[in-house]
Homo-oligomer: A and B are copies of this chain.
Amino acid sequence: MRKAHIITIGNELLIGDTVNTNASRIGSILTQQGFYVEQTFTIPDRYEMIISQIRSSMESSSVVIVTGGLGPTHDDITKKAVADLFNVKMREDGAVLEHIREIFRRRNFTFSRSNAEQAQVPENCDVLFNKKGTAPGMWFFENGSALAVLPGVPYEMIHLMEEGVVPKLREVFPGQDVWATRYFKTAGVPESTLSDTIGDLGEFLNNGVEAAYLPSASGVTIRISASGSNSANAAKKLEKISNRLKEKAGELIYAEGREESLASVTGRLLKERKLSVAVAESCTGGLLASTLTDIPGSSDYTEGGIVAYSNRLKTGLLGVSPDDLEQFGAVSKEVVLQMAKGAAERCGAEIGLSTSGIAGPGGGTPDKPVGTVWMGFWFGEENHFALNAVLSKERLINKERTVMIVLETVRKVLLGLDGYPYNLKPFRA
């Protein structure tokens, strides 16, 4: 495999004011394109270090991607360093200059000399035209090594990587294997359970096929990837292992693809079935409603609901029995079931969802320690139940994980799937 180096430039990265998301985005794109990302360097905005790092990286690897230090204030350093490295003069790029002028006209800003200098580029580069900003990307190919110099603003960088750098790389390194990747997302399944369910994948892991479990706070994602001479070819190698995953864990996989969220999948199911949902939230304090309404178009199936943080609202707005509140406590099966029913009825929705728990850090008791959560699900008189889980000591994690369990439960019920997240047992009234 051809080697790649990533060089990110910026004092803000070194002193920790900014987290280096660019390095991981570039690493991910280069890996997809079949390169072996061997090293990432972060260096300061210093002329000599920029020159020496680019030079040594170009000597030892086929691809070098540099980001940062191209804004109007730092213009001179990175561009001048690169021009001096190749011992070439600068030239003005007419198309870039016109593009920058146009941006300034549109924003009604005064165009100054320092802005015009952004259109200066080393004369041996191909310009990677930056539709999303004023600093052009630059492409060099010298002695068999490719060098791309890109602005550090993440969405400009990603735009130039995808539209400019990737096509150029395929042109100068034809026949390079590419990687096809697929993601299978799950929620509410521990990694060990997931891997036991799927079983040994050894027989599929040959001929360039790889698999990985990626755990995060919102669930475990399975990534599979394979290399091939072109995308179709590589994708084809993933068919058998994909089928195996779907056969063994199909019901646990809520989405294929990296970007789709559980709220969006569950929302689509609600919309397809012409069902609407209302919430009654205590311990999640509005996060369930907010997560549902993060999805564009969610007004089609989200009525809204009630954040009943105080007991007064649980009785007053949701119709929870004051006696039951007294007898069983706010964090109880009885109360979340009444909350879920109250939400559905008072908001005019088919489905009511409720949460009540000890989010922490305080408020735990021996019986109900911090992290204890009850969730209520009202799908109508004939189907309603409550789930109980004991989560973590961390308030924000408890809010997030409760929302995940609720949404995954709704997905399973709507699809008629067996079982509940984390193998929880339903309590029916």
**Residues of chain A whose beta carbon lies under 8 Å from any beta carbon of chain B:** 13-21, 23-29, 31, 37-44, 49, 212, 214, 223, 279, 281-282, 284-294, 296-299, 302-310, 312-313, 316-317, 346-348, 359-362, 395-396, 399
Contacts and interface: CB of A to CB of B under 8 A. Distances in A.
A40 B14 contact: yes
Contact of A42 (B40, B49, B279): B40
Given A304-B310, A309-B299, A40 B17 contact: no
B309 A307 contact: no
B40 A41 contact: yes
Nearest to A14: B37
Given A39-B43, A289-B286, A317-B346, A17 B214 contact: yes
Nearest to A8: B40
A310 B303 contact: yes
Given A17-B223, A293-B359, 20 more contacts: A14-B27, A14-B38, A14-B40, A16-B26, A16-B29, A19-B24, A20-B40, A39-B49, A41-B41, A282-B304, A284-B290, A285-B289, A286-B288, A289-B309, A290-B399, A294-B396, A296-B361, A296-B395, A298-B309, A317-B317
B41 A294 contact: no
B38 A39 contact: no
21 contacts: A13-B24, A14-B27, A14-B31, A15-B27, A15-B37, A16-B28, A16-B37, A20-B23, A38-B44, A41-B42, A286-B287, A286-B288, A286-B307, A290-B399, A293-B309, A293-B359, A296-B362, A299-B310, A303-B310, A304-B308, A307-B307
A279 to B, nearest CB: 7
Residue with the greatest number of chain B CB neighbours at <10 A, chosen from A24, A44, A290:
A290
